[in-house]
Amino acid sequence: MSDALINGLAGAGGGIIAQLITYPLQTVNTRQQTERDLKKEKRKLGTIEQMCQVVKQEGWERLYGGLTPSIVGTTASQGLYYYFYQIFRNKAEIKALERQKKGIGDGSVGMLSSLIVAALSGCVNVLLTNPIWVVVTRMQTHTNILKKDHSNRLATPALEETVLSAIEPFSFSTGHAIQEVYDEAGFWGFWKGVFPTLIMVSNPAMQFMLYETMLKKLKKERSLSNPDNNGVTALEIFLLGALAKLGATVVTYPLNVVKARLQAKQVATGDRRHQYKGTIDAILKMIRYEGFYGFYKGMSTKIVQSVLAAAVLFMIKEELVKGARLLLVKDGIHTVKSKLP
């Protein structure tokens, strides 16, 4: 099994676990980003309060709306990202060693090369998986509204308004979300928000650059103090992953909001101030009608969700890689021993 495949599978596994743990926060954050009602009472709702509101008005299942396609997307995204990241990283390491032989550099991959490797991996990932995330965004932002019961035509208007239907609210499935996107914008609707998402490749690129830099520095310092031990613990990887994600999220968050706005449902008969023709149009309208505050809606929720998810992902991914390599080494030893006379 190649190192790239090991990292790809480990990244997918870590991503799924991180997604399951933090998904309710992700759902609330997407709703905060796409909220276009500027009423003050809406702004005062905190993350926990909004989660409770969703549960009370729509049920627990709405916190996990779009979970199935999200897991598919996470598996594909993390698997593809780590797979191509490792392939590009291996090539960068080979080139670094070639430069070292020519007397240039110390043979290690520098910060700029790490940034380019992460950016290339992210671009491939975005172009292949954007349709999945458009569907996930639609399912996260869809709200179940109970219909009024109009069966009793003799009821007074006041009484009629207070009676809710006993029928279950409309179930918005993955198929409904796909059909909605296609009816609204056709085939290319599944690539809505791809431009800001491609720019947001800088987020994981910065994240991995910071992570690799801090990890390399920690290992180097540890090897200087104790040459026999330059390894890092799962807790240290957790903290490094959290710090790297925090820095990247703060810088790129406005683009995340623009992407969510473009991927959410566009109501043709609604307020034109909230209808976006593209990335530039969305940015200009948000500045004009909401101010710069609009670009940072739900940022505190996103920081908690993304930092926690990234930290869990890094920790689990590294442990899975270690475990896989250990199993391969043991399997190799057993194979050699079985061949011995």
pLDDT digits (tens, 9 = 90+) for 224-262: 777 776 677 878 888 888 888 788 878 888 888 888 888
pLDDT at 61 over 70: yes
Fold of the CATH domain 3-145+170-199+248-330: Mitochondrial carrier fold (1.50.40)
pLDDT tens digit sequence for 99-119: 888 888 788 887 778 878 888
Q: In one letter, which amino acid is 20? A: L
pLDDT of amino acid 165: 37
Whole-angstrom CA distances from 228 to 220, 225, 231, 330 are 12, 9, 9, 22
Query: Which strand (E) or helix (H) includes residue 231?
Result: none
Q: Report the candidate in 78, 74, 79, 76 with the shortest Cα–Cα distance to residue 23.
A: 74
pLDDT digits (tens, 9 = 90+) for 152-180: 444 444 444 333 333 344 567 888 888 88
pLDDT, average across residues 45-55: 82
- The stretch 194-206 carries a mean pLDDT of 78
User: Percentage of residues in the chain with pLDDT exceeding 90?
Assistant: 0
DSSP summary character for residue 146: P
Instruction: Output the average pLDDT for the chain.
Output: 77
CA-based torsion, 48, 53, 56, 62: positive or negative: negative
Asked whether the predicted pLDDT for residue 44 surpasses 70, the reply is no
Residue 148 pairs in a beta bridge with 164
**Do the Cβ atoms of 35 and 120 come closer than 8 Å?**
no
Q: What is the pLDDT of residue 254?
A: 87
pLDDT tens, 285-330? 888 888 888 888 888 888 888 778 878 887 888 888 888 878 776 6
Neighbours of 214 (CB within 10 A): 16
Q: Could you tell me the pLDDT band of residue 203, with boundaries at 50, 70 and 90?
A: confident
Q: What pLDDT is stored for residue 209 in this prediction?
A: 75
pLDDT for the residue numbered 312: 84
pLDDT band at 184 (very low <50, low <70, confident <90, very high): confident
Which has more pLDDT, 153 or 283?
283
Taking the domains of the chain in order of start, what are their residue ranges?
3-145+170-199+248-330
Q: What is the pLDDT of residue 46?
A: 77
**Region 24-39 average pLDDT:** 78
Residue with tokens 């599978």, as numbered in its chain: 9
pTM > 0.75: yes or no: no
Give the span between the Cα atoms of 15 and 9, in whole angstroms: 10
Per-residue pLDDT, 268: 58
Spatial separation of the C-alpha atoms in residues 83 and 11, rounded to whole Å: 8
Phi, psi of 147 (to 5 degrees): -85, 150
pLDDT of residue 267: 64
Question: Using N-to-C axis directions, what is the helix angle for 67-101 and 3-34, rounded to 10°?
Answer: 130
Q: How far apart are the first and last CA of the chain?
A: 27
Mean pLDDT across 41-61: 76
